[in-house]
């Protein structure tokens, strides 16, 4: 596995390879969710590039940038064992200069739900993703459905800017008890870890309600809120794949999303119907 720390090093590494490039961008502290993306990239491409970069521009003031988990050695091993060809591991100044051209998330879709709670977060996400997609010359790039709004906005950016990369959505990987894997789960104490199960439990209940024929979004949201008590719920939302709020679930075009704080840890989860 080649480790590249700058765009120039990455380009040199890529020049020694041929064929399709599968790219998995991450912020490290790799878990089985990340590994699932990497494995899919491995199966579908000749060359696999993974980036590990805790992107400062997507963290708001007061968020967990400085304490975001960093696991360099373990991450390198996981990449090596997963058959990654090139690991891109840049410092901040290898990614950003002064007075740059800026990328801004769309006014509505970028500033609702996650974008409302974390205004400007998606500007930072899109800024780093466009850089990474360009540096890696990715044929295909892999993103988790767990970050559904991020996935939708990246897909939109690729369309809006006529970029030549295929965005591949990967199902959320969960622990056996339902908790969606997240690098932030390490912040949870044992009792918070149990409380955190309310997120996936509420989504499971939403799925059951829909299977029983319930379609009204407000009814599903009401039941979910009940299950989520006493967590500090930021939102429970029911949207279509374009992230427009919908009053009735339409099978095949609905995403049910939840964001809540468990102690001081912010968790998100969703289910696609
Ligand atoms: P992160 O390191 O949190 O920025 O995540 C990197 C990529 O992994 C993103 O595309 C996430 O959506 C994806 N991801 C994170 N958690 C999971 C999960 N539990 N299942 C599938 N993909 C995930």
Q: What values do phi and psi take at 189, rounded to 5?
A: -75, 175
Query: Does residue 176 lie within any of the structural domains?
Result: no
Instruction: Kindly state whether residue 115 falls inside one of the protein's structural domains.
Output: yes
Read off the pLDDT band of 7 (50, 70, 90): very high
Query: Looking at the structure, do residues 250 and 153 belong to the same domain, yes or no?
Result: no
Examine the domain organization and report whether 35 and 161 are in the same domain.
yes
Percent over 90 (pLDDT), the chain:
100
User: Residue for token digits 């709020």?
Assistant: 245
- The reported pLDDT for the residue numbered 121 is 98
Q: How many domains does the chain have?
A: 2
pLDDT at position 222: 98
Is residue 178 one of the residues assigned to a domain?
A: no
Kindly give the distance from the C-alpha atom of residue 212 to the centroid of ligand 1, in angstroms, as a whole number. Answer: 30
Q: How many residues does the chain have?
A: 273
pLDDT at 20: 98
| Pair (133, 227) in one structural domain | no
The domain of 241 spans 183-268
Task: Select from 143, 170, 197 the last residue of a domain.
Answer: 170
- Please indicate, yes or no, whether residues 78 and 199 belong to a single structural domain of this protein: no
Which CATH number do you get for residue 220?
3.30.1300.10
Ligand 1 close to Cβ of residue 55 (< 6 A): no
**CA 170 to ligand 1 centroid distance, Å:** 9
Q: Could you tell which of 23, 24, 25, 26 is best to mutate to test the pocket of ligand 1, judged by most ligand atoms within 8 Å of the CB?
A: 26
Domain assignment present for residue 229? The answer is: yes
pLDDT at 139: 98
Q: Is residue 226 part of a domain?
A: yes
User: Of the candidates 144, 170, 196, which is a domain's last residue?
Assistant: 170
- Average pLDDT, whole number, for the chain? 98
- Catalytic entry in 31, 34, 121, 208: 34
pLDDT (mean) for 192-207? 98
183 lines ligand 1 (CB under 6 A): yes
Distance 41 CA to ligand 1 centre (A): 14
pLDDT digits (tens, 9 = 90+) for 218-258: 999 999 999 999 999 999 999 999 999 999 999 999 999 99
- DSSP states along the chain: -EEE-SHHHHHHHHHT--S-EEEEEE-SS--HHHHHHHHHHHHH-SEEEEEE---GGGSPTTSSTTTS---HHHHHHHHHHTT-SEEE---GGGT--SS-------TTTTSSTHHHHSTTHHHHHHHHHHHHHHHHT-SEEEEEGGGHHHHHHHHHHHHHTT-S-EEEEEPPPB-TTSPBP-GGGGG--HHHHHHTHHHHHHHHHHHHHHHTT--BHHHHHHHHHHHHTTSEEEEEEEE-TT--B-SB--TTS-EEEEEEEETTEEEEEEEE-
Pair 161, 193 in one domain: no
| Residues 97 and 202 both lie in one domain | no
Give the model's pLDDT for residue 14. 98
- 147 and 13: one domain? yes
Q: What is the pLDDT of residue 140?
A: 99
Q: Are residues 117 and 211 in the same domain?
A: no
> Residue 128 is encoded by which pair of tokens?
């780093």
Q: Say if 207 falls within a structural domain.
A: yes
- Report residue 61's pLDDT band, with 50, 70 and 90 as the boundaries: very high
Share of the chain above pLDDT 70, in %: 100
- Determine, yes or no, domain membership for 177: no
170, 204, 234 - which closes a domain: 170
| Annotation marks residue 208 as catalytic | no
Question: Mutate which of 52, 144, 155, 172 to test ligand 1's pocket (most atoms within 8 Å of Cβ)?
Answer: 144
pLDDT digits (tens, 9 = 90+) for 88-136: 999 999 999 999 999 999 999 999 999 999 999 999 999 999 999 999 9
Query: Does 61 share its domain with 158?
Result: yes
Domain of 9, CATH number, reads: 3.40.50.620
The tokens 């400085």 sit on which residue? 66
Inside any domain, residue 175 = no
Residues 21 and 154 in one domain: yes
Q: What is the pTM of this model?
A: 0.98
Whether residue 158 is found in the same domain as residue 188: no
Quote the pLDDT of residue 74: 98
Do 165 and 260 lie in a common domain?
no
């Amino acid at each position: 596995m080649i480790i590249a720390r700058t765009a120039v090093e990455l380009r040199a590494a890529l020049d020694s390879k041929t064929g399709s490039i599968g790219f998995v961008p991450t912020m490290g502290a790799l878990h089985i969710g990340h590994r699932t993306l990497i494995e899919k990239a491995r199966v579908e491409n000749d060359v696999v590039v993974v980036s590990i970069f805790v992107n400062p521009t997507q963290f708001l003031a007061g968020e967990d940038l400085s304490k975001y988990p960093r696991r360099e050695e373990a991450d390198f091993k996981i990449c090596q064992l997963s058959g990654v060809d090139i690991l891109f591991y840049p410092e901040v100044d290898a990614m950003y200069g002064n007075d740059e051209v800026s990328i801004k998330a769309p006014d509505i879709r970028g500033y609702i739900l996650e974008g409302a709670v974390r205004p400007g977060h998606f500007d930072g996400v899109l800024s780093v993703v466009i850089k990474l997609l360009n540096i890696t010359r990715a044929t295909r790039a892999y993103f988790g459905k767990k970050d559904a709004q991020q996935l939708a906005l990246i897909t939109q950016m690729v369309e809006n800017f006529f970029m030549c990369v295929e965005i591949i959505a990967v199902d959320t990987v969960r622990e056996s008890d339902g908790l969606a894997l997240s690098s932030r789960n390490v912040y949870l104490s044992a009792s918070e870890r149990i409380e955190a199960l309310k997120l996936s439990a509420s989504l499971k209940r939403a799925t059951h309600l829909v299977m029983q024929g319930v379609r009204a979004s407000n009814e599903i949201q009401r039941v979910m809120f009940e299950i989520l008590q006493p967590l500090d719920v930021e939102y429970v939302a029911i949207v279509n794949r374009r992230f427009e709020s919908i009053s009735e679930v339409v099978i095949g075009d609905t995403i049910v999303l939840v964001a809540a704080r468990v102690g001081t840890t912010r968790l998100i989860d969703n289910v696609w119907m």
